[in-house]
Amino acid sequence: MRTVYVNGDYLPETEATVSIFDRGFLMADGVYEVTSVLRGKLIDFDGHAKRLERSLSELDMKSPLDRDALLEIHRELVRANEIDEGLVYLQITRGSDGDRDFVFPDPATTDPTVVLFTQSKPGLAQSPSANTGLKIVSIDDLRWGRRDIKTVQLLYPSMGKMMAKAEGADDAWMVEDGQVTEGTSNNAYIVKDGRIITRGLSHEILHGITRAAVLRFAREAQMEVEERPFTIAEAQAADEAFVTSASAFVTPVVEIDGVRLGDGTPGPVAGRLREIYLDESLKAAI
Ligand code: PDD
């Protein structure tokens, strides 16, 4: 049985509880982070800790734990649950004042709820989709306008995955005003004539921690990077495509709305970026 963390306590998962009045439960009033673990170490921990701070501050919440305290909890859970490859999920909500009200409770009297748990995923770095590539369908982006805040409002992304599955695909890319925003749980890229193209940062997409690292490594390797939106038609005509996230690292895309990209197999740029990302991130893992 897993050991999880709830508000200062390490508990068996069956003994961990949160109030039915918690605003995360009633209003999706909370933020989260997912940090990957490879060889028992945390990948990009500082990036995730910084984005968490930003998400909280955008929602007028104070971080109940500083970076070092968070790191300690992550490490303790990885140790207690013997995670070699997997994920650490962290969620902080505005807590519960024992009732339901649209107005935020007074932070002086209502503490946030902090929950962390691990997911063991042996083989995460050797996922089969890295070799086969993903089939993507496009769907309208019907999410709220502040996608740069990593909130737990994941109903539409979750519906998007189901829409993809219903069509025999692996995932969906969301489209707004004719242009791709991002994947349901990842950032989206195309490659044309060796140039890596991905939407620039704004309120419209999550500022992926993996995205930041991959673009840095790409530039360091003298690859050309262009940050701008692209359409599904442009993606279908691209040489290759891929997605990035803390759980997928760099994963190739081989088909978009039934159209195969190139020869329909994972492309060399995605392959190379995945290799560089895994190598470099492992070196810097803590
Ligand atoms: N999802 N865009 C969206 C909408 C996401 O949900 C995610 C991450 C990303 C990639 O961000 P990062 O590289 O920091 O993981 C982009 C996580 C993995 C999840 O919800 O499980």
HSE (side-chain half, CA atoms, 13 Å) at 209: 22
Return the structure tokens found at 79. 């140790």
Residues labelled catalytic: 150
Q: Residue whose CA is closest, atom 20 of ligand 1? A: 185
Average pLDDT over residues 108-122: 97
pLDDT per residue over 19-40, tens digit each?
999 999 999 999 999 999 999 9
3-state secondary structure of 264: coil
Average pLDDT over residues 73-85: 98
* Ligand 1 centroid from CA 275, angstroms: 19
Distance (Å, rounded) from C-alpha 279 to C-alpha 43? 11
- Mean pLDDT, rounded, of the chain: 97
pLDDT per residue over 235-246, tens digit each?
999 999 999 999
pLDDT per residue over 164-214, tens digit each?
999 999 999 999 999 999 999 999 999 999 999 999 999 999 999 999 999
- Measured from the Cα of 212, ligand 1's closest atom is 13
* Ligand 1 centroid from CA 95, angstroms: 23
* DSSP conformational letter for 151: B
Return the structure tokens found at 153. 């409002």
**What proportion of the chain, given as a percentage, has pLDDT over 90?**
99
Domain 129-284 CATH (choose: 3.30.390.30, 3.90.226.10, 3.20.10.10, 3.30.590.10): 3.20.10.10
Nearest to 215 by CA among 136, 88, 266, 207: 207
Domain 3-126 CATH (choose: 3.40.50.1000, 3.30.470.10, 3.40.50.300, 1.10.10.60): 3.30.470.10
Residues having CB closer than 6 A to ligand 1 are 34, 182, 185-187, 206, 208-211, 244-247
- Give, to the nearest 10 degrees, the angle between helix 209-220 and helix 268-284: 110
* Ligand 1 centroid from CA 32, angstroms: 10
Distance (Å, rounded) from C-alpha 171 to C-alpha 57? 31
Residue of 146, 206, 214 to mutate, ligand 1, most atoms within 8 A of C-beta: 206
Residue ranges of domains in the chain: 3-126, 129-284
- Measured from the Cα of 211, ligand 1's closest atom is 13
Q: Residue whose CA is closest, atom 11 of ligand 1? A: 208
Average pLDDT over residues 121-127: 94
Q: What's the pTM?
A: 0.97
Predicted confidence at residue 99, as pLDDT, reads 97
Fold: same for 3-126 and 129-284: no
- Measured from the Cα of 51, ligand 1's closest atom is 14
What secondary structure does DSSP assign to 33-70, as a single string? EEEEEETTEESSHHHHHHHHHHHHHHTT---SS-HHHH
